[in-house]
């Protein structure tokens, strides 16, 4: 079993839709949770960073962490074609250095 | 633009050869992390350097090595290349040596023929 599981998609939604992206993890030591966006042939770009259970909002993006269920989510409101990319969850243990990534979910927002 | 630079962008070489990938971290960042991204394995952590010293090691093969120089740029050396080493190699940089945010460079695409 992988430490971090993420549905690879692809996920196709119409413009303006609310998108929900999810990851589950198995290691209780994971304390820091990130979402990266990766456009084709580009490096991952940090979108959201959180270290506690609950919600964190930044513009159209909301990150949600449920440590009791070992489940993290990223919501994108009013999705735009420019949001079409691969979204990677990344998790790190407290005091650790290594990021453990999910496999990424490919999202396509269609006009 | 994350501020992390990587060269070259693309590299095509043959099996058995050796290549060097270069990374310059963001201004002020002391840590450099190397990752490999392949279709079947996803993004995998290889190794971290902090201020010239190796800090953490991940799934790095013995044929691979890295170092960080006094000016903080880092090089990843890949030797005795195999077809399976074809992948995207990313470096990321961070401010400190531990639990800090990592900013990724644009990557080097390595193709081994």
Give residue-wise pLDDT tens across range A61-80: 999 999 999 999 999 999 99
Q: How far apart, in Å, are the Cα atoms of B35 and each of A72, B38, B95?
A: 23, 10, 17
Instruction: Give the pLDDT band (50/70/90) at residue B108.
Output: very high
- What percent of chain A shows pLDDT beyond 70? 98
Mean predicted lDDT score pLDDT of chain A: 92
* HSE value, Cβ hemisphere, 13 Å, CA-based, for B77: 8
* Mean pLDDT in residue range B69-90: 97
- Nearest CB to A99 within list B4, B45, B55: B45
pLDDT at A97 over 80: no
pLDDT at B2 over 90: no
* Mean pLDDT in residue range B33-58: 92
Query: pLDDT value at position B97?
Result: 63
Calpha distance B70→B53 (Å, rounded) = 10
Alpha carbon A60 to chain centroid, angstroms: 14
Q: How far apart, in Å, are the Cα atoms of B21 and each of A33, A43, B3, B47, B104?
A: 29, 15, 17, 14, 15
Mention every residue, 6+ apart, whose C-beta is less than 8 A from residue B37. Answer: B43, B44, B87, B88, B89, B90, B107
- Nearest CB to A46 within list B43, B99, B103: B103
Please report residues of A whose CB lies closer than 8 A to that of B99: 32, 92, 94-97
| Closest B-chain CA to A103 | B42
pLDDT at B32 over 70: yes
pLDDT at A94 over 80: no
- Nearest CB to A43 within list B44, B48, B107: B107
B7 has which bridge partners? Answer: B22
A48 is written with which tokens? Answer: 């959201």
Shortest distance between the Cα of A12 and any Cα of chain B, in A, equals 20
- Which stretches of chain A are DSSP H helices? none
Is the Cβ pair B33, A36 closer than 8 Å? no
The closest of B41, B17, B26 to B110, measured between CA atoms, is B17
Please report residues of A whose CB lies closer than 8 A to that of B103: 46
Residues of chain B contacting A, Cβ within 8 Å = 2, 4, 31, 33, 35, 42-45, 48, 55-56, 58, 90, 97-99, 101-107, 109
Calpha distance A92→A33 (Å, rounded) = 7
pLDDT at B98 over 70: no
pLDDT at A8 over 90: no
**Least confident range of A67-76, A83-92, B90-99:** B90-99
**Least confident range of A19-28, B3-12, B15-24, B94-103:** B94-103
Please report residues of A whose CB lies closer than 8 A to that of B42: 101-104
Please report residues of B whose CB lies closer than 8 A to that of A94: 99
Calpha distance B32→B92 (Å, rounded) = 6
Calpha distance A40→B64 (Å, rounded) = 26
* Torsion over CA: A109, A101, A54, A67 (sign): positive
Instruction: Give the pLDDT band (50/70/90) at residue A31.
Output: confident
């Amino acid at each position: 079993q992988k430490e971090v599981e993420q549905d690879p998609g692809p996920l196709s939604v119409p413009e303006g839709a609310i998108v929900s992206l999810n990851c589950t993890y198995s290691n209780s030591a994971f304390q820091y949770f990130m979402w990266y966006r990766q456009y084709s042939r580009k490096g991952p770009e940090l979108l959201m960073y959180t270290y506690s259970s609950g919600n964190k909002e930044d513009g159209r993006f909301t990150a949600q962490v449920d440590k009791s269920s070992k489940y993290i989510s990223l919501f994108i409101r009013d999705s735009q074609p420019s949001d079409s990319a691969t979204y990677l969850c990344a998790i790190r243990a407290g005091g650790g250095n290594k990021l453990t990534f999910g496999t990424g979910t490919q999202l396509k927002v269609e006009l | 633009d994350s501020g992390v630079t990587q060269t070259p962008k693309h590299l095509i070489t043959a099996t058995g050869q050796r290549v060097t990938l270069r990374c310059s971290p963001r201004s002020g960042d002391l840590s450099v992390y190397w990752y490999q991204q392949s279709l079947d394995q996803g993004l995998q952590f290889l190794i971290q350097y902090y201020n010239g010293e190796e800090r953490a090691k991940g799934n790095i093969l013995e044929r691979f090595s890295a170092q960080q120089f006094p000016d903080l740029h880092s090089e990843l050396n890949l030797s005795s290349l195999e077809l399976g080493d074809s992948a995207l190699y990313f470096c990321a940089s961070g401010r400190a040596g531990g639990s800090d945010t990592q900013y990724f460079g644009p990557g080097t695409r390595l193709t081994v023929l």
